[in-house]
Amino acid sequence: MTTNFNAVRVLPKRAKAHAHLVCVESVKGGFGDLTKADLANADFRGEAGQVMSYPQDGRMLALVGLGNQDSLTTTKLRNAGALIAKKFSHLAWIGADLQDVPQASARHLQALAEGISLGGYRFLAHKTKGKPSKLKRIDVASGSGSQSTAQEALNVGGVVARAQMLARDLINEPGGTLTAVEFANRGAEIGREGGLEVRVWDKDDIAEAGLGGLLGVNRGSTIPPRLLELTYVPTEQAQGSLTFVGKGIVFDAGGLSIKAAQPMMTMKYDMSGGAAVIAAMSALPELAPAKKVRALVPMTDNMLGGDATRPGDVLKIRNGKTIEVLNTDAEGRLILADALSLACEAKPDAIIDLATLTGACAIALGPKIAGLMGNNDEWIEAIRQASDRTDERVWQLPLPPDYVKQFESSVADMKNIGKPQGGAITAGLILKEFVDDTPWAHLDIAGPSWSDSDEDELAKGGSGFGVRLLIDLAKNFRAPNRSTSR
């Protein structure tokens, strides 16, 4: 379901705002017909996250708090938008009034639109009696800036949120229906619809290209692997080239090093990196950044069929390096090794990969923050800034060279696991073996890709984390200095 946003100067009389966004300061002495005492009775002070419903002319209206004027953030507007979407999901059309918050700028409006769209998201593909949100159109009266700037910000927010919900749909689809073949087909369809160049590599293409990591992980499956390649070429002269890589394990059973029942339950989300990459690509033609962006998503499940990769087997990756597989559940790094090697061959200005790579990262940083690692400080800084602008939080972890000896192997160039401690870092260091001096960064999104609850703009299930950040990165991309990669 997509929501249409309409920036208006004033709301039509009959429609008058259903939702008034207010700051602490704007409700100090009451609000409209509501007296100070009415607000006090409802304990409504305009704090962020507070909502007060009240009837007027036979309709239920709501005051939505944003906190103090001088501490307005995009997160607060996104969360307020989600609250509005949840509160008014039974209506097809609402008016939202931001005129009491003149400090709200274009980026705040974009966040509001994102929140309203995302807050209405429900995954209903397999529910026979699912109730989708009815919200189709929102008229937003904003207090400041021109109407066209406001409209543009709302439109961008709508496009970004639509992409993020597309990622959620892919993630929430079970591993048995969204197989690697199906994932590639859907990704290709999404790419073609958006006007991207599309190439689907089948098993023969993958074997011919020597993608031994992807083939090795796929060996336990009856369903063949795929590698999806999408390319966005701007209509104007491209100012730089960027490659997105996403982990596309459609279901991670762990292979012969099988997972326990509990941690296996959510493993359909092990393709969240791939989903975020595909979804972000889908938004580029509409937003038209003047950069070339290529996406590579290796896809397979990690199963334990009769000819599955055995612990002790050695795989040869695209760049010629060999890996002894001692734990078949550390499979993400094996398929990413191939994809990163391939990505580097085309010499893009920078690479970023997104992967639900390690439980260790989720334990270290929790459910809302991704681990950020990489070989180039300038590129890492650009990702931090995109993170700040999009509120998709990241935290940098080091890649200490002296940890490399943890994954030395006696039979191959390396093994696929290190010591039990610092697992997010050893995984990052293994990936680093497959990039050259190309500025590269890795986001371990094992924590924030899944939500256990419906809080804020999230719905229980796949979150689509990374979509906003990737789109922002593409828009603001400037080639980092390659010679400073280390």
> Which residues are known catalytic residues?
259, 333
| Chosen from ligand BES, Zn ion, none, partner binding at 6 (C-beta under 5 to 8 Å by type) | none
State in angstroms the smallest separation of the CB of 197 from ligand BES.
29
Q: Which partner, Zn ion, ligand BES, none, binds residue 461 by CB below 5 to 8 Å per kind?
A: none
- The item of ligand BES, Zn ion, none sharing an interface with residue 362, based on CB under 5 to 8 Å by kind, is ligand BES
Integer Cα distance of 99 and 9 in angstroms:
9
Nearest C-alpha neighbor of 305 from the set 255, 251, 250: 255
Are 116 and 85 in contact, with CB atoms under 8 Å apart? Answer: yes
State which residue, 239 or 327, has the beta carbon closest to ligand BES: 327
- Decide whether 211 or 249 has the Cβ nearer to Zn ion: 249
- Residues near ligand BES (CB under 6 A) are 252, 263, 270, 327, 329-332, 356-360, 362, 417, 423, 446
Residue nearest to ligand BES (CB): 359
Looking at the Cβ atoms of 172 and 257, the one nearer to Zn ion is: 257
Cβ nearer to ligand BES, comparing 110 with 328? 328
For residue 135, state whether it binds Zn ion (rule: CB under 5 A).
Answer: no
Is position 332 an interface residue for Zn ion (rule: CB under 5 A)? yes
By CB under 5 A, is residue 301 in contact with Zn ion? no
The sign one gets for the Cα dihedral 464, 168, 77, 286 is positive
The DSSP line for 18-39 is SEEEE-TGGGTT-BTTB-HHHH
* 270 touching Zn ion, by CB under 5 A: yes
Work out what residue 359 binds among Zn ion, ligand BES, none; the CB cut-off runs from 5 to 8 Å by kind. ligand BES
Exposed / middle / buried, residue 163 (Cβ in 10 Å: 0-12, 13-18, 19+): buried
Triad 242, 73, 460: Cα angle to 5°: 70
Binding mask 232-251 for Zn ion (x = CB under 5 A): -----------------x--
DSSP 250: E
Report the C-alpha gap between 128 and 209 in whole angstroms.
44
Specify the residue, 26 or 218, whose C-beta has the smaller distance to Zn ion: 218
> Which of 76, 119, 97, 74 has its CA nearest to residue 21?
97
- Name which of Zn ion, ligand BES, none residue 67 binds, using a CB cut-off of 5 to 8 Å depending on partner kind: none
- Residue 17 vs 355, nearer CB to ligand BES: 355
Place of tokens 């950044």: 289
CA distances from 84 to 20, 21, 381 (A): 10, 10, 34
Say whether residue 252 binds Zn ion (CB under 5 A): yes
Least distance (Å) between residue 320 CB and ligand BES: 23
Widest distance between CA atoms in the chain: 78
**Nearest by Cα to 415 from 315, 265, 308, 274:** 315
Q: How far is the CB of 127 from Zn ion (least distance, A)?
A: 27
Residue 329 near Zn ion by CB under 5 A: yes
Contacts to Zn ion by CB under 5 A: 249, 252, 270, 329, 331-332
